[in-house]
Structure 1
Amino acid sequence: MGMLQEFKAFAIKGNVIDLAVGVIIGSAFGKIVDSMVQDVIMPVVSRLVGGLDFSNYYLPLNGQGTALTLVEAKKAGAVLAYGNFMTILLNFLILAFIIFQMIRILNKAKRKEPEAEPAAAVTPEDVLLLREIRDSLKK
C-alpha cells in the first residue's frame, strides 16, 4: 500500500477532520476566553486593586522611566512586561479550568453504571436427572 493510499485511509477515518474541527473550535474558544479576561475580569480586578491597568505594568530594561505606556516603552527599548504576563497567565488559568470542567462532564457522561451480573442459568431438569444417575452409578 502506497503512502498516498495510507494517507487517504487515515483521512477518511475522520481523524484529520476531527482534529481540524477541534483546532478551529479551540481557537475560537481561546479568543472568547481572551476577551473575557481582558474585557471583563481584568477591569474588575484592576478596579478592586485601585484602578490600575495591569496591561501597562512593566519594568524598563533600558534605564528609562515608567511614565510611558507599554507600547511607547517597547518602541524606546527592551521592557519586562509583567502586567501583560499576568493577564495572559490569568487567561490561561481560566481556559484550563473551563477545559477541565468540560472533560470532567464528558467523563461523567461516558461512565457507565456497573452492569449487574447475569443470573445463574437454571439447569434443565433432564441435566439434573442425568447428574443424579451419574452420581448413583459412581456409588
Structure 2
Amino acid sequence: MFQEFKKFIAKGNVMDLAVGVIIGTAFGAIVKSLTDEVIMPAVGEIFGGADFSNHFVLLSTPEGFTGAMDDYAALKEAGAAMIGYGAFATAIVNFLILAFVIFLMVRYVNRLMEAVEKKEEAAAATPAGPSEIELLTEIRDELKKR
C-alpha cells in the first residue's frame, strides 16, 4: 500500500495540483488585498462611505449592548442579527476579479498551446526528405554511371 501511495504522490498531476493550490491561495490573498484596500474604498466613496464592508442592515440589537449602533464589528461580536450587504458585495467583487484574472490566464495558456500544436502539425506536414542511405545510394549510382 505504501508503494501505491508513493506512485500516486509522484505522479505529475498531484504535484501540479499542489503547486496550483499554493499559488492560488497566495494569489487569492493578493486579490483580497487589492479589493479591500484599493477597489472597495473607491466604491464606498461613490456610495457615501469610506469603508463599504461596514454597510449593513441591523435586524435586532442584542440585549445589553451599549456600543455604537453603527459599529459593524462590535455589533457582530455582540451577536446582533444583521445583514452585512457591504461584506457580501466585497466578496462578490473579490470573486469577479479572481475569476477574470483566471480567465485571462487560461486564455493565454490555451493560445500558447494552440501555437505549439500548429508548429507540431506544420513540422509533421512537411514532407520528409530522403534519408542518408538513400542519398548515399543515389551518389553511388551516379558515380557508377560516370
TM-score interval w.r.t. the shorter chain? 0.7 to 0.9
- Alignment-derived partner of residue 104 in structure 1: 107
* Secondary structure, aligned partner of 1:113: helix
Deviation for aligned residue 1:14: 2.9
- Alignment-derived partner of residue 124 in structure 1: none
- Alignment-derived partner of residue 17 in structure 1: 15
Q: 1:1-139, aligned counterparts within 5 Å?
A: 3-63=1-61, 67-74=69-76, 75-111=78-114, 112-113=117-118, 115-116=121-122, 117-118=125-126
Deviation for aligned residue 1:63: 4.8
Greater helix share, structure number: 2
Deviation for aligned residue 1:52: 4.4
TM-score relative to the length of structure 1: 0.73
Would you say the 8 A contact 2:58–2:81 is kept in 1?
yes
Distance 2:51 2:22 in 1: 31
| Amino acid of the structure 1 residue aligned with 2:19 | V
- Alignment-derived partner of residue 132 in structure 1: none
Distance 1:8 1:63 in 2: 56
Structure 2 unaligned spans of 5+: 63-67, 130-146
Distance 1:82 1:47 in 2: 16
Structure 1 unaligned spans of 5+: 122-139
Q: Percent identity?
A: 49
Which is worse superposed, 106-115 or 86-95? 106-115
Listed one character per residue, the Cα deviations across residues 85-123 of structure 1 (whole Å, up to 9, x for unaligned) are 00011001000000000000000000032735455x9xx
Deviation for aligned residue 1:45: 1.4
* Secondary structure, aligned partner of 1:26: helix
Q: Which aligned runs of 4 or more in structure 1 are off by greater than 6 angstroms?
A: none
Which is worse superposed, 29-38 or 107-116? 107-116
* Secondary structure, aligned partner of 1:61: strand
